Structure 1
Amino acid sequence: MKTLTKIFLVSTAVAFIAVKWRPSHFDPESLRGARVLVTGASTGIGEQMAYHYARFGAQIVITARREKVLQQVVEKCLSLGAQKALYIAGDMATESDPDKVVEFSLEKLGGLDYLVLNHIGPTPLSMWKGDIEYARWLMKVVHVWSYESGTSKGSLVIVSSLLGKVPGPFTAPYSATKCALNGFFGSLQHELAMKNSNVSVSICTLGLIDTEGAMTAIKLVGIVTNLPASPASEAALNIIKTGATRQAELYYPWKIFIMTLTKDWSSTQSHYNLLRTVPTPYLILLT
């Protein structure tokens, strides 16, 4: 137990220094007039990112499946100061819509400075029941193919989850897709660096966020947790700053970095016991 405590204290210190004290050179003016595409932007974190970009005076295209909701988000973006705000309804689970969305953005904005990939597929929280077809659809079509199809345009900001690094219960297909995202874009980061490319890739690992979808999912499954959910607006702002400063990674809230450090250093049961002492979410991390 003493060893586990030492590991926890050391990892906490490392996480705090590496994440909390990391210098930030974010210049809000750098986003004025920036051309941005945000996927999954009708609600939750994507919606909040659209509002922040609007306040910074960016030119924004947002996309999601629900056209009426997108119209409302665009109207608010314009009222907040966006130089331009447009929407295109699209289903990223289809083969044609991802390309259509990117082409629309390029045509309307004249290029893309930031491509923020935030969409996810419908992901019910439940024990794994062997639904191979659903898992295959979620993995191949929604998360992997549609994300990868956007890697040729703009600086990439990828919204991922702690479940892509520390799998938890009730989320087997979801965890698999996030692992795939981390692997693909982590590899892409190295390849771009080898080519001295000016394209940046920022992978944002999030914990529990207080989006309507995440909170509803917790209630439906009946999970009881005293772990606080972080505000979507703050998460969105941190994601934007990470992309604007071209940082390779973001852990939000910063405490979840501890979990990625300690997950392989103790037994599963000890790890769960340790997590109970850390005021940060583990079980449900859908964003």
Structure 2
Amino acid sequence: MGLTAKLFIVAGLGAAFLVARWKDPAFDVESLKGARVLVTGASMGIGEQIAYHLAKAGAQIVITARRGHVLEKVVQKCLDLGAQKALFIPADMSVVADPDRVVTFAVDQLGGLDYLVLNHIGPSPFAMWDGDVEHVRWLMQVNFISFVQMTQKALPFLEQSKGSLMAVSSMLGKVCSPLALPYTATKFAINGFFGSLRHELAMKKSNVSISVCTLGLIDTESAMEKIKPYSDMPGHPASEAAWSIIQAGAKRQAESHYPSYTYYAGLFIDFVPSLRDYMIQNLYHYEP
């Protein structure tokens, strides 16, 4: 492809982006009042911030993560912030029965489901891959298969409410990157599954919307600790990332990107492969 053709493509993509932004649907925070929401991975970080935003909007919330004693504190703060209802259920998404159990609990306690926010991740080292296949298998269950299980269980209830599902993904689900191979694989899987599911639901004229939410580096304590030895990249506020996810579901957007560089990187990442690879490999400090 010649340079002129590439420039036309870039201009066209830029124009498409601007049109999409101008047509961005309005978001009424009042629409969240009384909404029945299940949020996973809500004991800390982005999930915790999602719960607090929803609480301020007067939603009804069920949160889940592994540590019940931490969830209890988050629930109390949600009630203090104005949640109509806030409940928690401890669960381990590596246990095959737990994803279904969590959805059943949420539906029983809330009387249905308007939003499902799939946000949880399992711990994984940020380092060169050591060949541990079992860890990859375990992480795939936690970060991806459990998403699929919860989706299958929740879809009939979301169909009834004309609800929305938000699957939290990452820029590492679009860009092959070193030092996070198991994690990157699970995020690519999320993008592929939920992007394809969105097409199928549209073809079936389903009432359910699917939003794949792509995040860059967020300033959660765990993320910043992991990346610190390898990179000086700044993190972005977890509270803002959480709000972008909520808006994506409420506005029934197919995709959302936070911060904005994740959108542009997705557009241009394959434009010049050799430059892409050079930039990725030189983004991190690594001494063999």
TM-score by structure 2 length? 0.87
Gaps of 5+ in 1: 277-281
Matched, 1:167 2:179: no
Amino acid at match of 2:194: F
Alpha-carbon distance between aligned partners in 1 of 2:19 and 2:182, rounded to the nearest angstrom: 30
2:201 aligns with: 192
Q: Deviations over 1:48-85 (max 9, x none)?
A: 00000001100000000111110110010001000000
The answer to whether the 8 A contact 2:177-2:280 is kept is: no
Q: Give, in angstroms, the shift of residue 273 of structure 1.
A: 5.9
The one-character-per-residue Cα deviations of 1:1-51 (angstroms, maximum 9, x if unpaired) are xx5996997489458626755523111111100000000000000000000
Aligned residue for 1:87, secondary structure, equals strand
Report what 1:110 is aligned to.
111
Q: Find out whether 1:179 has 2:179 as its counterpart.
A: no
Which residue does 2:135 correspond to in 1? Answer: 134
RMSD: 2.4
**Within 2, Cα distance between the matches of 1:267 and 1:130?**
26
Q: 1:237 aligns with which of 243, 250, 275?
A: 243
Using the alignment, how far apart are the partners of 1:16 and 1:273 within structure 2? 27
Q: For residues 19 and 44 of structure 2, what CA distance do their matches in structure 1 show?
A: 31
Cross-structure match for 1:26: 27
Residue 142 of structure 1 aligns to which amino acid in structure 2?
Answer: V
Separation in 2, partners of 1:172, 1:273: 18
- Within 1, Cα distance between the matches of 2:212 and 2:84? 27
| Aligned position for 1:271 | 276
Query: AA paired with 1:240?
Result: I
TM-score (norm: length of structure 1): 0.88
Between stretches 45-54 and 118-127, larger displacement belongs to 118-127
Matches within 5 A, 1:5-16: 10=11, 13=14
Q: What is residue 85 of structure 1 aligned with on the other side?
A: 86
Higher relative CO (CA 8 A, sep ≥ 6), structure 1 or 2? 1
Structure 2 unmatched runs, 5+ = 159-163
For 1:125 and 1:39, the matched residues in 2 are separated by: 22
